[in-house]
Chain A
Amino acid sequence: MINIGLKQIGINLAPYMYMYNEVFNKKKIRDPYLNIMSWAKSLPHNLVIKKKLQAENLFKKIGITFSVYNNFDNAERLIPFDMFPRIITKLEWLHIKEGVTQRALAINAFLRDIYNKGEIIKAKIIPEDLIYKNPAYEVKMIGLKVPNNIYSPIIGTDIIRTDAKSFKVLEDNCRTPSGVSYMIENREIMMRMFPELFHTLNIEPVDNYSAYLLDILKTLAPRKCGGDPNVVILSPGPLNSAYYEHSYLADTMGIELVQGSDLFVKDNVTYMRTTKGKQKVDIIYRRIDDDFIDPITFNKMSVIGVPGLFDSYRTGNVNICSAPGSGIADDKAIYSYMPDIIRFYLAQEAILPSIQTYKCSQKKDKEYVLKNLKKLVVKEVHGSGGYGMLIGNNASKAKINLFSNKIKNNPNNYIAQPILDLSTVPIFKNRDLSPRHVDLRPFTLVGNKKNKLVAGGLTRVALKEGSLVVNSSQGGGVKDTWVLRE
């Protein structure tokens, strides 16, 4: 827990003193980083600057950008890329892999249960209201047969490291997790700029992700599908912040990237408009939110959805991945029950622990939170992207008062967690290396009777000194992540 030196942020490395440094352990360089540290130290300063510029130009030329909402002047931004790689050993990776796979299976079992028999509620493991009164619970999904009972085939798990041995889960993302294209492009760019590193080190490849994804999606054909299923990606369009990723995935999977207006439903069958006339669509990997999928069934104002799509889904003519209503599984209020969920469905203990979470909906927790705001991170239950968040130690008095009132007025909307000592990895900063906080998001794929995971993930890094917020919308950057083969 950070309880030191925050006044010194921006002056020296004191804020990082107590945190786990992935490179140094007891002032010695850890084995997996030996090669890369000597490489980094051998790079002349002007070369670092030159390569950095080169990397930025590559990102720009390829068009790997993200959009920031409400920022019309500079609609396309580059995500800052740091060239110092983050390294994970084979053993560490096997542990992570086991942990995220376990979670992904439990989440799918949980979704199946709560939209059918609700046994976990009957067993009184999760309070009824937390499910049935949850805005993320989709009543239209009750009793509906989902192809092969897979609700959420793509799960991004946000993992933080707190010491040499512990990796913990910060958040599950099982609606439409993004960032996988950065995982792949970061590698591409590192390989183009520093090919010599890849000759000497034995690093697991990540570019097989798209092939895995297509393979997994194809196991999820709807009931009424003859032959090889036609898979498409449904995107809100080029203004969406993750549009590059949508087009990247479509391109590398060799499938169509569609928008709502490219699809239509006739007699409950979903078609896309092509130059040859209409063509049936079987599986939709949707990158738009539940609410916007179908203006007839959900949000009437949606112009990016497809009228009638939900009926097409309901009648087994098309599969929508992830299933509407999957979001309840990554709800922050459900998150605290994840160890129970894993135990209930898999009869196993959670391999990756969760972080202690105080639910303001519960009186005792609320009182604790209000008394200890300075020591906590407060999050909105349904928020994402690092918005609507309070990091107590760093916040102004006014902001603490604001959150204190918010919690009192609407306790159900907030949870709190201790401020964590996220591990650090260095970034290139001026003439030095300087430690920054990182997290890791691997992408687990769950299909019918098989699951897949590329050995790697997206490492996000908080570029601001001392900052714990890694979200790209809040000044975070990315790094290439290397899982070593041995």
Chain B
Amino acid sequence: MLSRTAENLYWTARYVERADSIARLLEVAYRIHLIPNTDEGYLSEWDSILKASGMKQEYLKKYDQINKEKIEFFLLFDESNDSCIKSCIINARNNLKMVRTAVTLEVWNTVNSWYHDLKNYEKDRYSSKDLPEILDWVKKQVNLIKGTIDHTQLINDGFDFIRLGIYFERADFTARIIDVKYFILLPSSTYIGGQVDNFQWSLMLRSVSSYRGFRWAYGNSNIDYKKIIDFLILSSICPRSIFFAVEKINHHIYRLCEFYDDRNIVHKKVNAIYKGLSKCNADEIINFGLHEFLTKFIEDIGNVYTDLESVYFSGTDR
């Protein structure tokens, strides 16, 4: 297929996944606002959410202070924010529009309707009251799109590029969301055992929609930071964990190598990350330093992407 087609499919999927991630972040935001809190704690949570969205600088450039409704609007509809849900929907559709012929009519229809229906949710004046309904709609559409992709597309190289977009985005997002609050997962944390960290941990789990999943996976034993590290980074059953995403990336890059009959550098690198993670445990990560571990991971997976780009998206011979 055309290199550009592969690239557009990849980015379509990334934007779809990003919209989903931002929706989950906003869900956490909504929950915070339901819980009585000291002003300081309240502000710091909003601060984390902006950081996790990667958009704090942009926000502060535009608005001088942290304000709940403004942040919500900024993450939902503010088109000057390239990662807001609206921008994600527009970008996903624009990318797909370039390569309409590479997806089924059903897939195009789901993405196109997502775009057209957006205006039903975007009111002249944004109000926090509407947030739950908007988020439900976004998540529902994302699942519809992903399901339609899985069940109508040919499972060929195009499918691999779509899946790669989803899982690169997810790996990156999960890593960032842990990194923003990595200090609540440190043994030295002064919050240990207190009310605050339990609340904070549950927020972190919720932000990757894994709160209930965690309970199921670890039974009724007490929450502790090691279990959370294990669950969000190393679990093979949590669909939002870093390991899960890496496993999928590894799988789809392997499939591409088979399909194109080449053993290129891309697979070697991701396979090394995958193997490293499968042998790793929470204690090792803690010893290495959680923040350092995440920083290294974000860099490594970024390198895999750079190689993917130069091998498959440039269209030159290798």
Contacts and interface: CB of A to CB of B under 8 A. Distances in A.
Contacts, number: 65
A63 interface: yes
B236 to A, nearest CB: 29
A213 to B, nearest CB: 15
Nearest to B318: A277
Instruction: In the A-B complex, list the 5 residue pairs whose CB atoms are closest, starting with the nearest.
Output: A273-B315, A251-B101, A277-B317, A273-B3, A247-B100
A258 B116 contact: no
B265 interface: no
B2 interface: yes
B278 interface: no
A247 B2 contact: no
A99 interface: no
A276 B94 contact: no
B312 interface: yes
A275 B158 CA distance: 10
A272 interface: yes
A257 B315 contact: no
A262 B5 CA distance: 10
A62 interface: yes
A259 B101 CA distance: 14
A54 to B, nearest CB: 15
B109 A61 contact: yes
21 contacts: A61-B109, A61-B116, A63-B100, A63-B108, A237-B98, A238-B98, A256-B5, A257-B101, A261-B4, A262-B4, A262-B315, A273-B316, A274-B1, A274-B3, A275-B1, A275-B260, A275-B313, A275-B315, A277-B316, A277-B318, A278-B315
B112 interface: yes
Given A61-B112, A277-B315, A277-B317, A247 B101 contact: yes
A61 B2 CA distance: 26
A78 B261 CA distance: 44
Given A60-B112, A63-B97, A277-B315, 12 more contacts: A60-B116, A62-B105, A62-B108, A63-B100, A63-B112, A256-B1, A257-B99, A257-B101, A258-B2, A273-B315, A274-B3, A278-B315
B209 to A, nearest CB: 30
A250 B3 contact: no
A61 B97 CA distance: 12
Contacts of B312: 275
Contacts of A237: 98
B6 interface: yes
Interface of B: 1-6, 94, 97-101, 105, 108-109, 112-113, 116, 157, 256, 260, 312-318
Contacts of B101: 247, 250-251, 257
Nearest to A235: B98
Contacts of B116: 60-61
Nearest to B312: A275
A250 B99 CA distance: 10
A251 B315 CA distance: 21
Contacts of B6: 275
Nearest to B109: A61
B3 A61 contact: no
A259 B4 contact: yes
Contact of B157 (A243, A262, A275): A275
A191 to B, nearest CB: 16
